[in-house]
Structure 1
Amino acid sequence: MKKTAFLFLTICATALTQVSCSGNDDTKNQSESDVTSVGASLTIDAINDMDIKTGLIVTTKNTSSAKSKETTPGICAAITITQQSPTSYPKVFTVDYGATGCTDNLIIRKGKLKITLSGPITTTGSKITIERIDYSLNGIKLEGTIEYTNATTVATVPQWSRKVTNGKFTDLEGRVYLNSGNWTVKQTAGVDTPYVLEDNTYEMTEGNHTITSANGAVLTLTVQESLIKKYSCDFVSKGKLKVQSNLLNGVVDYGNNDCDKKFTFTNQNGTTFNLSM
């Protein structure tokens, strides 16, 4: 995944943007900022999905008594649960990957995730809040808070809102990107098995993600066609995002619902690039 944040630097040399990277210094710097922001944004969103997945695993699999310490299959971190009683809310889960980190699925995580569950996540209004504490993934530092709130109005169509605030992403080169966003998420498969996560499929029907680079350049990615995310896949497998900035405009297409890392970027001039996370 960490390759994503750097793919677009190379693409600039192959004329991804209509504005040539060989133009004046201001245009060149703006163009390079825009294309690297696209890569950073896609990486941020993929990591947000992974952290939400961690939150769902931890809160679903752990129902132990107050202040207990648990291990959860598939998560290498130590998990501490704090609550007033075994049936009370809120429940606070501290997922501690340690200062030196540990590895899940070839991904090295360090630091902590503080996950607060306000009530059963299957209940409308309940919220999972994920706070990052000295947290990094494969050396990429991440800050900010994710709120995942049950907004279901029809029982057969579970729905959530996903809000990211005070997001801060520091890549391996030390570049900093501030980010925030809101998504609407519907569950389209696995509804009949609410406490089994593996058969779930989610559809992000609307929303946008804004990212600001260190030089102040702002880029926005907006859902153009619903994004399909299977619980069993690490990445979005279908759907399109519209990319907009001062110099870069186009569409990210995640493909035909295959569980893979591939996607394409089509610039507004019609040029298409096949890429991979």
Structure 2
Amino acid sequence: MKKNAILLTTICAAALLLFSCSNDSNEGTASTDLTSIGASIAIDTSNEMDINTGLAVATSTATAKTTETVVGICATITITTPTGGEYPKVFLIDFGSGCKDDNNLTRKGKLEVTLSGPITTTGSKMTIKRTDYSINNIKLEGTIEYTNTTTVATVPEWTRKVTNGKLTDLQGGVYTNSGTYTTKQTAGVETPYVLSDNVYEVTEGTHTVTTSTGTTLTLTVKEPLIKKYSCTFISKGQLKIQGGILNGVVDYGNNDCDEFYTYTHENGASFNLKM
């Protein structure tokens, strides 16, 4: 049985995505748990957005400047080199009191992006720290470490590690999170300074999300997740979700560049959701 998403802000306005909760008691999945799925997907989505922002400033061709303007990023960007050498290089991305990016999302606060070396070089790390930062008034905290682990030059790879992650939604719900994913680049390798043609594949990894009530969800890559740099959201792949009464699979669809995905519970109940 499949239920279509309907906008219902009183219960399900969790994070960056809004979706309805079924009123059919036979579905066997509580609305609060559907909200935690939404928050979990929003956490992954916001992490990917911030990595994209970091990559955009890191590959800017004018990084010798002390300030920078990057297409698609509505922020003031200040560049420093703390030790006086080329690296480490620190980008302070200041969205101020709020501005809308190319995806019509309002960002506030600051991202501090530190490069230990060129992100295309094995061993280099990009660290992203959030300060008073939010997307569409959803507060996001924590640190993302994106480390180049490439062993074969034609197949670039990175690990994405999140520590001390926290999402606070519009109703004050708090979701702490951490985890590590392995990512490889499957397209755009030949044009390292052009991001628009890049396609990434999250091949493995696990992320945990704990709600303010103490329920912990474990999200594990079941089928590789496809993330096109040119798309805001993951376009294909599956995540296994387990925790509390939840035991099912999130499916991102058929590689379309859209905001839709499906959660299917172990009892066969399926929900069409929207980010």
Taking the TM superposition and a 5 Å limit, the aligned residue runs for 1:112-191 are 112-191=110-189
| Matched AA of 1:38 | I
Q: Superposed, which structure 2 residues align to 1:94-105 within 5 Å?
A: 94-98=92-96, 100-105=97-102
Cα deviation, residue 64, structure 1: 3.0
The aligned residue for residue 78 of structure 1 is 76
Contact 1:128 1:148 in 2 (8 A): yes
Q: Residues 150-205 of structure 1, C-alpha deviation per residue, up to 9 Å, x if partnerless?
A: 01011111000000000010001111110111100000000111111110000000
- Which consecutive unaligned segments of at least 5 residues does structure 1 have? 20-30
Matched, 1:275 2:273: yes
Q: Structure 1 residues 275 and 35, CA, compared in 2 at 3 Å: closer, same or farther?
A: closer
| Conserved? CA contact 1:165–1:181, under 8 Å | yes
1:11 partnered with 2:21: yes
266-275 or 84-93, which moves further after superposition? 84-93
User: How far apart, CA to CA, are the structure 2 residues paired with 1:16 and 1:275?
Assistant: 18
1:59 equivalent in structure 2: 58
Number of aligned residue pairs: give it. Answer: 262
Q: Give the RMSD, CA atoms, in angstroms.
A: 1.9
In the alignment, is the contact (CA less than 8 A) between 1:94 and 1:115 conserved in 2? Answer: yes
Q: How far apart, CA to CA, are the structure 1 residues paired with 2:206 and 2:25?
A: 26
Aligned residues: percent identity?
A: 62
Query: Do 1:17 and 1:247's aligned partners in 2 also have CA atoms closer than 8 Å?
Result: no
Q: Structure 2 length as normaliser, TM-score?
A: 0.90
Aligned to 1:41: 40
Distance in 2 of aligned mates of 1:16 and 1:94:
50
Give the CA deviation at 1:273: 1.6
CA–CA distance in 2 between the matches of 1:214 and 1:262? Answer: 26
Give the match for residue 89 of structure 1. Answer: 87
**Larger displacement relative to structure 2 (79-88 or 158-167):** 79-88
**Alpha-carbon offset, residue 65 of structure 1:** 3.1
Cα deviation code 1:14-36 (max 9, x no counterpart):
348536xxxxxxxxxxx444322
State the AA in 2 paired with 1:152: T
Ranges in structure 2 where 5+ consecutive residues have no aligned partner: 1-11
Give TM-score scaled by structure 1 length.
0.89
